[in-house]
Chains A and B, each alone.
Chain A
Amino acid sequence: MYGLLRVEDSVSPTVSGGEVLLTLIGFTVVYGVLAAVDLFLMRKYAREGTTGETSADEVGAAMAY
């Protein structure tokens, strides 16, 4: 809340800066890797295009995994 609950008031008193930095790096790495994987898949599907045919193991939403 502006002027009432300032950022400095809501900082966790027991979590250190080092811990926050560690998790910031951790989340950045995890999401960075996942973003790269995502781009790889998008590129792959874009290149393959649509064949108009659905293979047997793609039939049915329940068996999509």
Chain B
Amino acid sequence: MIEFDLNSLWFALVGVLFIGYFFLEGFDFGAGILLPVVGKDDLDRRVVVNTLGPVWDANEVWVITAGGAMFAAFPEWYATLFSGFYLPLFLILVALIVRGVAFEYRSKDKRPEWRAWWDRAIFFGSALPALLWGVAFANIVRGVKIDATGEYVGNLLDLLNPYALFGGLTTLALFTLHGALFLSLKTGGDVAERAHRVALGLTVPAAGLLFGFLTWTWRNAVAIDNDGVVPGAIPILAAVLLVAAIWLVRERFHGWGFVATGAAIALTTLTLFLNLYPRVMPSSIAPAFDLTIYNAASTSTTLTLMAWVAVAFVPIVLAYQAWSYWVFRKRMTRETLIPAGS
């Protein structure tokens, strides 16, 4: 049962921020992972990096905002998550640092070995978070060892359980497919054709993994007799959209394919958040130790004040981000980078 109160509003906002993050950075992780696959020479790889150049950092701001919203609205959630998942989140952070620098530095020197090192940084810096975000979220939804004081008392190995690793593989495949479709849309020539072929090969495994992950999530929820408030239509639609993507890619409807993978990512994230609600971090030790949107929240004064700040600024941020995508809407090709006659 969904309550309409401030705590639920802030939980929804954190959910929306993660949905936006996985939709947007999902494709730039995917494109980074595919850099060595679709980029056969340096110019090809510059085509790929230039499709991401103007947008990747704004995409990443979504996760920073999500973390900030968690910190401000649900400090107990933030504390338990960031202390409990300390080393995995450290790895994600290092990957994101190295990857961000790689985009900016790879063209600053012409030596092939210089660029090869940054290309490796882009590949691993994209693949590692794409995998680890799935592992992290699967663990949050599954429940981790949280004691009566609300602290995580498990260890690193507890986080590497089969369900969480399956979740990681699912996000890795899903983001890579999403990125392949993004590159099919945003590039031209051989790069776009290679991206199309990658997408063609990935649709079936990605659909299978997502179907398996959502089924497993549902089975876990049934097993502990708590599946939050997930209307069955949402995860089913997510899986159906990826099945539709198989056909859409085959027929070369890359735009609709991109919409399908993006919507599947959004609906999967929504499923996980609805599965949690009204909890933010369930305890696998005892339901009484669950962190919820009530016992992990800030005071209502804080939540009210921040709600007004969000109402004022979120539309502005959405507007300028949409505008930046409009400005950079054209396809990137080898010819764009080396104009004819030069």
Chain B neighbourhood of A3, CB < 8 A: none
B160 part of interface (Cβ distance < 8 Å): no
Is B151's CB under 8 angstroms from A13's CB? yes
> How many A residues, CB 8 Å from partner?
21
The verdict on A26 contacting B90 (CB below 8 Å), with A12-B83, A41-B108 known, is yes
Identify whether the interface residues of A are mostly helix, strand, loop, or mixed.
Answer: helix
Which of B50, B90, B101, B149 is in CB contact (< 8 Å) with A63? B50
Contact between chains at A65 and B151 (CB < 8 Å): no
Residues of A near B79 (CB, < 8 A) are 12
With A26-B94, A41-B105, A41-B108 as known contacts, state yes or no: A15 contacts B86, CB within 8 Å: yes
Q: CA–CA, A37 to B114, complex, Å?
A: 11
Q: Do A56 and B339 contact each other (CB < 8 Å), given the known contacts A19-B87, A23-B87, A62-B53?
A: yes
Whether A19 touches B105, Cβ cut-off 8 Å, given contacts A14-B153, A65-B46, is no
- A34: Cβ under 8 A from any B Cβ: yes
Q: Closest CB of chain A to B163's CB: distance in Å?
A: 22
- Counting CB contacts under 8 A, is A44 at the interface? yes
Binary contact track B138-155/A, C-beta < 8 Å → 1, others 0: 000000000001011100
Q: Determine which of A30, A44, A59 lies in contact with B97 in the assembled complex, contact meaning CB atoms within 8 Å.
A: A30
The distance from the CB of A54 to the nearest CB of chain B, in whole angstroms, is: 11
Q: Which residues of B contact A56 (CB under 8 A)?
A: 338-339, 342
**A23 contact set on B, CB distance < 8 A:** 86-87, 90
CB neighbours of B98 from chain A (8 A)? 30
List, in ascending order, chain B residues with CB within 8 A of A8's CB.
Answer: none
Query: Please, how many angstroms separate the alpha-carbon atoms of A63 and B342 in the complex?
Result: 15
Instruction: Verify B90–A65 contact, CB threshold 8 A.
Output: no
Residues of B at under 8 Å CB distance from A?
46, 49-50, 52-54, 79, 83-84, 86-87, 90, 94, 97-98, 101, 103-109, 149, 151-153, 328, 336-339, 342
